[in-house]
Amino acid sequence: LLQISNKGYSDDEVEEIIKYITKLTEANSLAEAAQLLLISGATKSKFAQFILARALYKGEILQKNLSESFTLINRLAMDDDYPEAICDLAQFYENGIGIDQDKKKAEVLYQDAMDLGIKRAIVHYDRVRKQNSGLFSIFKK
């Protein structure tokens, strides 16, 4: 905390902290992992904020909080154009998590994520596109 407040941090240092959080989680040191996750998520690091949002979604390290997870992912995707968050936001829309289900919006977001180089978005996009272009797609969101 002292280093972050006095000197700041680099992206590499944040990545090291996230790797350490993963090791702590695997060792079942969840209290320490949660503390470090909250500290790193409070920085300006988009990566750390993204990992925090995912942890809030999963509910393994921190208590599950879908609305807060959605809020963080939405901000990272829409305000900061964070590519991984755009793909995750599409999943929220596709499955109606924290927001009304909207498969058309999900398709657009998956396309945006693909355009930004997120490879995992390809499979999701193809699936949702097929669903959206089906015979009864006019009745679906």
Residue 51: per-residue pLDDT: 97
5: nearest Cα among 48, 44, 55, 46: 44
For 63-78, write each residue's pLDDT tens digit: 999 999 999 999 999 9
Per the model's pLDDT, the better-predicted residue between 101 and 4 turns out to be 101
For 3-36, write each residue's pLDDT tens digit: 665 677 888 888 999 999 999 999 999 999 999 9
DSSP per residue over 28-68, as a string? T-HHHHHHHHHHHHTSS-HHHHHHHHHHHHH-SSS---HHH
pTM of the model: 0.86
Q: Half-sphere exposure of 115 toward its Cβ, with a 13 Å CA cutoff?
A: 8
Q: How far apart are CA 4 and CA 42, in angstroms?
A: 11
Residues 94, 103 contacting (CB under 8 angstroms): yes
Q: Grade residue 141 by pLDDT with cuts at 50, 70 and 90.
A: very low
55: nearest Cα among 79, 24, 82, 83: 24
Using the predicted structure, report yes or no on whether residue 107 has a pLDDT greater than 60: yes
Could you tell me the sign of the dihedral formed by the alpha carbons of 78, 83, 88, 93, in that order? positive
**What crossing angle do the helices spanning 83-95 and 103-115 adopt, rounded to 10°?**
160
